Amino acid sequence: MAENPARIALLIDADNAPAAKIDVILAELAKYGVANIRRAYGNWTKPGLKKWADQLHEYAIRPVQQFDLTKGKNATDVSIVIDAMDLLYTSQLQAFAIVSSDCDFTPLVMRIRERGLEVYGFGEKKTPEPFVAACSKFLYLENLGEDSNVADADAPKAVPAKKNTTQLRQDNKLVALLRNAVEAAAGDDGWAHQGRAGSVLKNQGSFDPRNYGYRYLGDLIEASGLFDLERRGNNDVWLRDKRAAKATKPAAPSAATSRTSASPAVQKQKPSTEPPSSDA
C-alpha cells in the first residue's frame, strides 16, 4: 500500500446488504486505501437488522439510526445521501464505498465522481444496471469470498462457475468492452499491452473480471478467445483483436482471377483459325 493511502468513507445501507459479507468488503477496500469512516444506516429497532448489529463492534462500524418515516418504506437512503454530501465537502477523502443493491444511489454516485473521487460499489446481483455502471468499480457480493453465491450466512453455499468461452462471447456488452479497450490501447501495428488495455477498461466503467468468475483480467481475456496473445520481453502480454489479424491477411487469388490473368498469354499461343484475307 502507498505511504499515504487513500482515505475512504464506507457507507452501508443495512436494509439492502447482507451482513455476512462485511469482512470481504473491508478486505477488498484495503487494496485501495483505508476505510477511516465506517457507518451503517438503518432502523436498528427492527429485528431484521440483528445480524448487522452483531457485526458493528467487531468491525468498528458506527450505527446511524434512521426511523421509518412512512409505513412500509425506510428513510435510510436520504440519510446516507445527506451524510455523503457533508463528507464530500468537509472531509479530505479520496473515495467512497457504498454497500447497497438500491438504484436510488445512482445520482449520488455520479455527483461524487464529478468531484473526482472514486466510488466503489458493493451489492447483490439484483442491483439495477444504472447503479452498477455509475460506480468506478462495482463488485457483486455473491462473487466475493470463499462462499461465493452466499447472500446470507444461512443461505445454501455454492461456488459460482466461470463463464466459458461461448457464454463470454454471448455477452455483447463484455465483448464490446474488451474490444474497445484493446483498440484504444493498441499501437499502429494493432497490438496492445495488456496492462494499458486494463487501464482503459477501468476508465470505461465498473468492470471487474471477478463478476465473470475470473480472478484476473488476463484469465478472462484468454478465456474469451477474442484476441491473439503474445508474450514479449519480461513476459509482458500483448493483445491483438483476431478480426484485425484476419483483415490484414492477404486474400488468396480466386480461380476466376487466375484464369483472367492467364488468358492473354493463352490467347497469344492459340493459333488463328480464321481464313487468310482475300486482300493478300
**CATH code of residue 27:** 3.40.50.1010
Cα torsion 249, 193, 226, 203: sign? negative
Higher pLDDT, 30 or 73: 30
Distance CA 104, CA 79 (A): 12
Same domain, yes or no, for 87 and 118? yes
The C-alpha angle 161, 167, 169, rounded to 5 degrees, equals: 140
Answer yes or no: is 275 within a domain: no
Same domain, yes or no, for 244 and 177? yes
* Average of per-residue pLDDT values in the chain: 82
Instruction: Among 159, 188, 217, give the residue marking a domain's end.
Output: 159
Same domain, yes or no, for 80 and 129? yes
**Shortest CA distance to 214 belongs to which of 204, 203, 201?**
201
Same domain, yes or no, for 114 and 239? no
Mean of the pLDDT values across residues 82-107?
95
Answer yes or no: is 146 within a domain: yes
Neighbours of 1 (CB within 10 A): 10
Is the confidence at residue 157, as pLDDT, over 50? Answer: no
The 10s digit of each residue's pLDDT in 224-266 is 999 999 998 888 899 999 987 676 665 555 554 444 444 444 4
Same domain, yes or no, for 123 and 199? no
The 10s digit of each residue's pLDDT in 190-232 is 999 999 998 888 777 678 888 888 988 999 999 999 999 999 8
**In terms of DSSP H, where are the helices of 186-254?**
194-204, 217-224, 242-248
Is the confidence at residue 162, as pLDDT, over 70? Answer: yes
Entry pTM: 0.68
pLDDT band for 67, please (50, 70, 90 cuts). Answer: confident
209 is in which domain, residue-wise? 166-248
